[in-house]
Structure formats: C-alpha cells, structure tokens
C-alpha cells in the first residue's frame, strides 16, 4: 500500500502481564483518584441558587441609563459606535417631538439602539466615549441561545426600567478615576 505521509507509529505487541489482564489494580488506582476528589475544594457551584462573586473589574452586558426623572440619557450621538473596536453598536437617531420631553432628555434620541453581543468584547470603550453617561457595563451576563439573532440586544433589552426601585446600579463603574477622566476631556455631562 502506498504511504500518504512519512509519519509512522510503532505498535507495541507486548503481551499483557497477569496483573494487567485482570484490570483490578488499574480500576483501584482509578477509584483512588476519583475518591480523592471528594475531599478537595469544589470548583463548581450550585448556580443559580449560588452565585459567584464577580471581580471588581468584571465587565458584563451594557445598560442604557435614564436620568433621575426617568428620561433616556442617550442622544444618539454615535460616539460609542465610533469608539467600538468590534463594530458591535448600531443606532438610528430620531428628533424628539413635542410632548415627548418626559421620555427623552434632549432633542435627539436613539429610536433604535442595538448591540451585537456576539461581537462585543466587553472592552468598555463605549462607556468611556459616552459624553452623556448613558451607557455603562454591568455585572449582568449575556445568556446563551440557539439563535444568532437573539444576541442582537435592542433597547428593550438594554434600557433600564423607569421605576426608580428597579434602576441598575452602576456606581461601581462610576469610579473617581473614570469621572476624572471624563471631566478631563470635557465629557462629563450629567452632574453639570
């Protein structure tokens, strides 16, 4: 037969000893390894009853924030999309109409705002670039799914609830360093 490569494997034809033939020593040594794991510290947890502590610098899925009066902060300026290295953000701007002052803080707002979570690398550049403090990364997870389309998160997934009791706390992300950074480049907007 013609060989298709120069690789060769030497197959051992050594006859098995009695000890090897009865398999018992191999089974016992395997069981010793198995039982020794019973007394080690477990690396798994009983999720979702038990949840892991996230690292202080963990960055999960984004939230679009509202102001104290419940109005959307995002003005669809597009800076987050420009800053995004993964080109994960898309949006469509719209003009605020009379009577919508309670919904949108400024004259322009994002009628459509989408993040493709399959592209997002959770770098946080969108958060840094935002002059309105409208987008923050949170400790929330992106859930697994069978459909690629379900990883496109729209406003219905990203926008925080109007109810003040259910707002998303982003104080961990609003660190003094981050606020100083925004102030330095004149991006800080909300506390003016």
Report the interface residues with ligand SF4, using CB under 6 A: 74-80, 83-86, 88-89, 91, 110, 115, 120-126, 129-130, 132, 134-135
Shortest reach from residue 26's CB to ligand SF4, in Å:
50
Residue 102: which residues within 8 A CB-CB, separation 6 or more? 69, 70, 71
Residue 177 Cβ vs ligand SF4, minimum distance, rounded to whole Å = 18
45 vs 82, beta carbon nearer ligand SF4: 82
CB of 87 to ligand SF4, least distance (A): 8
Min CB(107)–ligand SF4 separation in Å: 13
> For ligand SF4, which is the closer residue by CB, 37 or 126?
126
Q: How far is the CB of 49 from ligand SF4 (least distance, A)?
A: 29
The tokens for 54 are 């996230």
Cis peptide before 48 (omega within 30 of 0): yes
Please say whether the beta carbons of 54 and 64 come within 8 A.
no
Tokens of 86: 């993964």
Report the residue number, 20 or 101, with the smaller CB distance to ligand SF4: 101
- Measured from the CB atom, the residue of 70 and 124 that comes closer to ligand SF4 is 124
Nearer to ligand SF4, 86 or 162 (CB): 86
Nearer to ligand SF4 among residue 104 and residue 134 (C-beta): 134
Least Å from the CB of residue 35 to ligand SF4: 45
């Amino acid at each position: 037969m013609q060989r298709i490569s120069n690789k060769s494997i030497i197959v051992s034809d050594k006859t098995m000893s009695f000890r090897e033939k009865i398999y018992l020593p191999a089974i016992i040594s395997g069981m010793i390894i198995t039982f020794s794991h019973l007394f080690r510290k477990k690396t798994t947890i009983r999720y979702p009853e038990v949840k892991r502590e996230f690292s202080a610098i963990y960055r999960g899925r984004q939230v679009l924030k509202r102001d104290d009066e419940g109005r959307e902060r995002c003005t669809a300026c597009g800076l987050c999309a420009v800053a995004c290295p993964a080109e994960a953000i898309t949006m469509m701007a719209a003009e605020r109409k009379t009577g919508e002052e309670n919904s949108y803080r400024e004259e322009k707002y994002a009628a459509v705002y989408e993040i493709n979570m399959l592209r997002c690398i959770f770098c946080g550049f969108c958060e840094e670039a935002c002059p309105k403090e409208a987008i923050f990364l949170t400790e929330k997870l992106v859930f697994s799914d069978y459909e690629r389309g379900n990883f496109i998160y729209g406003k219905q997934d990203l926008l925080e609830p109007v109810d003040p009791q259910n707002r998303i706390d982003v104080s961990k992300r609003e660190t003094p360093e981050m606020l100083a950074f925004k102030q330095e480049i004149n991006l800080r907007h909300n506390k003016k």
